[in-house]
Amino acid sequence: MNTPKILLVDDDPLVLDLLATYVEAFGFSPTTAEDGVIATAKMDETSYPIVITDMMMPNMDGMQLLKYIRENHPRTSVIVVTGYDRTFTYTDVIRAGATDFITKPFSADELEAKLKRAVRELEMVSQLEILSISDGLTQIFNRRHFDIKIWEEVHRADRQGHDVFLLLLDVDNFKRYNDQLGHQAGDRLLQSIGAIMKSCIRENVDWAFRFGGDEFSILLTQITMEQALMTGRRILQKFAEQNFLESGLSIGMARFVRHQNNPWETDIADLIGRADKTLYTAKNLGKNQICVDEKLLTQ
């Protein structure tokens, strides 16, 4: 991950300046806040993977800030700095949600070690999250992440007034291809499809998934029907250029339709069902082509 930004929170300007000097010297990008209220406002504007906070502060103390972070920014790591009076113990702050603890006065070496540990833990969590939502073979997202992303995108589309299109893809004659050339060749074909899909969509706007086996899907957002069709045709063309013998791709395409009286789950299921039906229309019409849901064409 990139070097994270760090939010420093302390009502003592001397301590705040010292923290900022140290953190910047370690290669991080510090932002300062004089109390918890200011810190929460800054966190609502910008994401901070790590917060270093004092405990005894006016307006909102460290415990209250910890509670706010746990409830509103649960992925943020918090390192607590407290004085010799030990008003709050190590156990207190860890139970409240802090990831580490430093006692004033602190040394630069101790602060650097705590920060590096927090960064390593964030990197491990990030890697585990990527593994949990990715397909190991094709390096695109998996079905688990599809279920999350489709929910997010149809809600966003409804709020912002744009369309979402779902493309379902299935490899034609995949079993025959595997039987003739072996499973390693079949894996290479699937990997090529993943690479083709990623090359034909917009990063962080559209989303490609492997459902499992030889089934794939794409969510296209903020796009017209003709542009969505062009994306599907481009995928077909690039796949044909790979010359995988008698194999091809059948694609079914449908547009999300929101019915206000329906639960969201019903409309999402309707979208998947229409795309799946259209995919099998493409199969029945001779394979290796893209077909569009009839509802989409008549609306």
Q: Are strands 248-255 and 164-172 parallel, antiparallel or unpaired?
A: antiparallel
Active-site annotation holds for 214: yes
Cβ-based neighbours of 273, under 8 Å, separated by 6 or more: none
Query: Could you tell me how far CA 103 lies from the centroid of its own chain?
Result: 36
Identity of residue 91: T
Helix (H) or strand (E) holding 19: helix 13-25
E strand spans, the chain? 5-9, 29-33, 50-54, 77-82, 100-103, 141-142, 164-172, 207-212, 215-221, 248-255, 290-292
93, 103 in Cβ contact below 8 A? no
Q: Which of 214, 270, 276, 293 is labelled catalytic?
A: 214
Which residues are known to be catalytic?
A: 214
